[in-house]
Amino acid sequence: MTEKIFALEAIDPVEIFGVNENNLELIRKFFPKLKLISRGDIIKAIGEKSELDMFEERFEILLKHYEKFGKVTEKDIKYIMDQSQIYNGEITDKDVLVHGKNGMPVKARTINQQRMVESYEKNDMIFAIGPAGTGKTYTAVALAVRALKNKEVRRIILTRPAVEAGENLGFLPGDLKDKLDPYLQPLYDALRDMIPSQKLYSFMEDGTIEVAPLAFMRGRTLENAFAILDEAQNSTEPQMKMFLTRMGKNSKFIITGDVTQIDLPRNQASGLIHSMRLLKNIKGVDFVMLDERDIVRHRLVNSIVEAYEKENSK
């Protein structure tokens, strides 16, 4: 038998071990052959050398994950302990996608956001699917802005279906642009975080960046472009086919959506759900599934999403 001691330097033990050591209890289930003892900010592991070496590798990845994202959830622990070879937790300069307002670095903040970044290098079309607040749209816009700055593409097209989420579009005041802008606001917000206002205005004036409703994509071919379809769960099957077949030479497409928030009429099927079934085995198309552990909004959003998912499962 061998033993190793690991210290949590400048980390509150509760952040890693969990309240009442719930996280540590979960870790023990992955290493039943080891005896894991916690005392304050240290943990002692006793067992065979091979098991200890594996535990050390995965525990270090867990600590790197905490350093990078500022939290460790039950799902993070399961993911890292089961699939640590997929995510190594290293933090490098290339993690920064773009520098936004005041030079603030914009980068992937969770494991599945990082998966989106990695998938971009290998695939021309990515579906990023997950609940509200998981950063799927923000990460997609960051990738698009980086591609434009690096001259990988000549323009960015951001689009959304103009579908009412409980409101009636016809009764909103103003002309067509005034009616549609509220649907596109999240895309404007993300762009403003990453591009100085004057530069963004210039890009939108000359068509380098275009934000438009999905219906405006019909009949076009998008070449040398980075196109993002946001809120794709509210596209119909014909609309989704229409958008996906706009792809031209040297283009990247990211489709984001939340299949739990479909606002289409009951008699219309979601184009996103249909495409998930239809395209899953096509080379060059990747699906990245995000979940509660990727939520980067207020901590209550995690609990709210979990509560709704439990209700739906019933």
* 128: alpha, beta or left? (left if phi > 0; alpha if psi -120 to 50): beta
Give which of 45, 112, 25, 108 is closest to 76, Cα–Cα: 112
Q: Are strands 2-7 and 42-47 parallel, antiparallel or unpaired?
A: antiparallel
What is the structure's pLDDT at 125? 97
Contact 138, 190 (CB under 8 A): yes
List of domains in the chain: 2-83 (3.30.1370.10), 93-313 (3.40.50.300)
| pLDDT tens readout for residues 38-73 | 988 889 999 988 888 888 888 888 888 787 778 888
Largest CA distance in the chain: 76
pLDDT recorded at residue 236: 93
What would the two tokens of residue 17 be? 């071990």
Give residue 302's pLDDT.
65
Q: Report d(CA 51, CA 69) in Å as an integer.
A: 27
Residue 176's pLDDT is 52
Question: What pLDDT sits at residue 314?
Answer: 63
State the residue for tokens 């040398």: 224
What pLDDT is recorded for position 94? 60
Q: Which residues of the chain have pLDDT under 70?
A: 82-94, 101-104, 163-181, 183, 296-299, 301-302, 313-314
pLDDT value of residue 122? 93
Q: What is the pLDDT of residue 35?
A: 92
Q: What is the pLDDT of residue 85?
A: 40
Residue bearing tokens 């802008």: 181
